[in-house]
């Protein structure tokens, strides 16, 4: 990995006190926001939500797909989707075009860890006044995972461009004693404002992790790529076309019409045509 590529680093202090993860997701979030065509507070919230999904996956379920979702009291819904291979995508449905979608009182923050098709772990947090994705994620770890966690999230946007997006998670392990905890709290407090640190470091997770574990003997456990991408395929589009029914498929075949479907996540346009209808009808 390079300092300017999106990736997440996992490490543990050798005294067994802390597990630490640091994430750079600037390019991933930039592509995700561009695909959704959102800006302002909605874009920032969507970017932070994507970082939350990646960090939860890497922390609690690196081999599973994780979704982080926020339902806005104004009728909007933001969805982010982090896959084990690093592929990350998002979806923005804004209910209030004036206010946008952002974390506030009366919203719902959800984390879904998909263990296998149809089965998963689902945590739900009701959001409060002066809330944020960061604060909601902190309560999720404490309430749903029962793990004391210190974390920061940031998605800084200037003049419509994502300057830096990422975050970190520090989890307290059972072997923890009070002196290391006080040192860790002091180091994390010194990182604020985290947005400035992240932008100055170009989001480099190695620099962020180094600042967190400074002076502590630690071992790096992993370094994984994060990237924007989608799981849509022509085969999935054709499977959805099959839901039209035989009569509608025959009518499309007779007229020789193409059927275009645009993916909500990546905006890629897929086209099914007469050959696809014929194959479905033969099946």
Say if residue 98 is in the same domain as residue 157: yes
pLDDT for 130: 85
Residue 274, in any domain of the structure: yes
Mean pLDDT split into 10-residue runs, the chain, 283 residues: 87 92 98 96 97 96 94 94 97 89 94 81 92 96 90 96 97 78 91 93 95 93 96 89 84 86 94 85 79
For residue 281, give the H/E element and its range: helix 274-282
Residues 6+ apart with CB under 8 A from 198: 154, 156, 164, 165, 166, 208
55 lies in the same domain as 156 = yes
Report the domain count for the chain: 2
The confidence score (pLDDT) of residue 175 equals: 66
Do 244 and 220 have their domain in common?
no
* 160 and 254 housed in the same domain: no
Q: For residue 2, what are the contacts with CB-CB under 8 A and spacing of at least 6?
A: none
In this structure, the answer to whether residues 154 and 275 fall within a common structural domain is no
| Residue 48 in domain | yes
For the domain that residue 85 is a member of, what is the CATH number? 3.55.30.10
Here the tokens at position 199 are 């932008």
> Residue 277 has which token pair?
């209808």
Q: Are residues 36 and 88 located together in one domain of the fold?
A: yes
Give the separation between CA 283 and CA 270, rounded to whole angstroms: 21
Domain-located, residue 109? yes
What is the number of H-type helices and E-type strands within the chain? 9, 13
Q: Which domain holds residue 141?
A: 7-228
Predicted structure pTM score: 0.91
- Per-residue model confidence (pLDDT) at position 245: 83
């Amino acid at each position: 990995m390079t300092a300017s590529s999106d990736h997440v680093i996992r490490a543990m202090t050798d005294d067994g006190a802390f597990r630490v993860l640091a994430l750079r997701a600037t390019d991933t979030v930039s592509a995700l926001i561009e695909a959704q065509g959102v800006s302002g507070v909605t874009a920032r919230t969507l970017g932070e939500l994507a970082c939350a999904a990646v960090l939860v996956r890497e922390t609690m379920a690196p081999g599973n797909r994780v979704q982080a979702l926020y339902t806005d009291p104004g009728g909007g819904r933001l969805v982010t989707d982090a896959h084990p291979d690093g592929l990350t995508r998002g979806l923005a449905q804004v209910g209030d075009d004036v206010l946008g979608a952002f974390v506030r009182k009366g919203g719902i923050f959800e984390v879904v860890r998909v263990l296998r098709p149809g089965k998963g772990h689902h945590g739900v947090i009701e959001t409060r006044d002066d809330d944020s994705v960061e604060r909601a994620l902190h309560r999720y770890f404490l309430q749903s995972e029962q793990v004391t966690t210190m974390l920061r999230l940031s998605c800084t946007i200037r003049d419509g461009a994502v300057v830096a997006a990422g975050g970190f998670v520090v989890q307290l392990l059972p072997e923890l004693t009070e002196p290391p905890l006080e040192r860790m709290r002091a180091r994390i407090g010194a990182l604020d404002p985290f947005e400035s640190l992240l932008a100055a470091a170009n989001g480099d997770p190695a620099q962020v992790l180094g600042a967190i574990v400074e002076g502590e003997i630690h071992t790096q456990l992993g370094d994984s790529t994060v990237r924007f991408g989608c799981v849509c395929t022509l085969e999935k589009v054709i499977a959805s076309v099959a839901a039209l029914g035989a009569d509608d498929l025959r009518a499309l075949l007779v007229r020789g019409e193409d059927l275009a479907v645009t993916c909500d996540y990546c905006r890629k346009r897929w086209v099914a045509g007469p050959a696809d209808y014929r194959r479905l009808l033969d099946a």
